[in-house]
Chains A and B, each alone.
Chain A
Amino acid sequence: TQLLEQSPQFLSIQEGENLTVYCNSSSVFSSLQWYRQEPGEGPVLLVTVVTGGEVKKLKRLTFQFGDARKDSSLHITAAQPGDTGLYLCAGATGGFKTIFGAGTRLFVKA
């Protein structure tokens, strides 16, 4: 069974703090996506990483794909209340199947 372990599951921080979310697996993924989901809505794609060692930046968000394509991290700099939400990582196997992490519920206090 392929698993994608995501941590932490819950994070409550003050505005301005930095944070990192991790996704780890023993499986190799052809690509990995990060999503953000608001309550009552579907996940919205933030980024897709494909190449081992790849680093992508999206404003205050930095995404990294491990060299072996088994793990990934999302780092948020100077978090803002608007960053509050559920962050999901999802790894794509060779076929169409995507495995989701358990999610990280982030709450940023003003």
Chain B
Amino acid sequence: GAVVSQHPSWVICKSGTSVKIECRSLDFQATTMFWYRQFPKQSLMLMATSNEGSKATYEQGVEKDKFLINHASLTLSTLTVTSAHPEDSSFYICSAMGTRGYTFGSGTRLTVV
């Protein structure tokens, strides 16, 4: 149990376009999901906490207008990178609280060209 599905696993987009990443809890309900960003060979940096039915809480330094988070149901949170630029290229990972701890999605590698 406690499976989190993240889609897409990788995406390449042109600079200036927007990209949506989905995070689904498959066999449990998650009122809270988390979005992380990970640079090569570095640890995870929390970007925001996504709360079902309310606004996300963003960490300091993370632009809420650039990284739009929507948590419309107990099993789905989405992260939209708006007007993407090459510096937004990174590995984005979501997680949700399961019964044994945080369960992570498989990550999305975003490359902005």
Measuring CB to CB, which residues of chain A are less than 8 angstroms from any residue of chain B? 6, 31, 33, 35, 40-45, 48, 88, 90, 96-98, 100-103, 105
A35 to B103 CA separation, bound complex (whole angstroms): 10
Q: Which residues of B contact A (CB under 8 A)?
A: 4, 6, 32, 34, 41-46, 49, 91, 93, 95, 97, 100-107, 109
Which 8 pairs, one residue from A and one from B, show the smallest C-beta to C-beta distance?
A: A42-B104, A103-B43, A48-B101, A42-B107, A102-B43, A100-B44, A42-B106, A100-B43
- The answer to whether residues A97 and B103 also contact, given A42-B6, A42-B93, A105-B41 and a CB cut-off of 8 A, is no
Known: A40-B107, A40-B109, A98-B34. A45 touches B101 (CB 8 A): yes
Tally A-B pairs: CB < 8 A. 51
Distance, CA A16 to CA B34, complexed state (A): 37
Contact partners of B103 in chain A: CB under 8 A = 45
Q: Is A97 in contact with B44, judged by CB distance below 8 angstroms? A: no
Supply 10 further A-B pairs (C-beta < 8 A) apart from A43-B104, A98-B34, A98-B102. A6-B43, A33-B102, A40-B91, A42-B95, A42-B104, A45-B103, A45-B104, A96-B32, A100-B45, A102-B43
Please indicate the chain A residues that have their CB under 8 angstroms from the CB of B109 in the complex.
40
Q: Is the CB of B49 within 8 A of A97?
A: yes
A45 and B41 in contact, given A40-B109, A97-B46, A98-B34 (Cβ under 8 angstroms): no
A-B contact pairs, 7 of them (CB 8 A): A35-B104, A40-B109, A44-B104, A45-B100, A45-B102, A90-B102, A100-B45
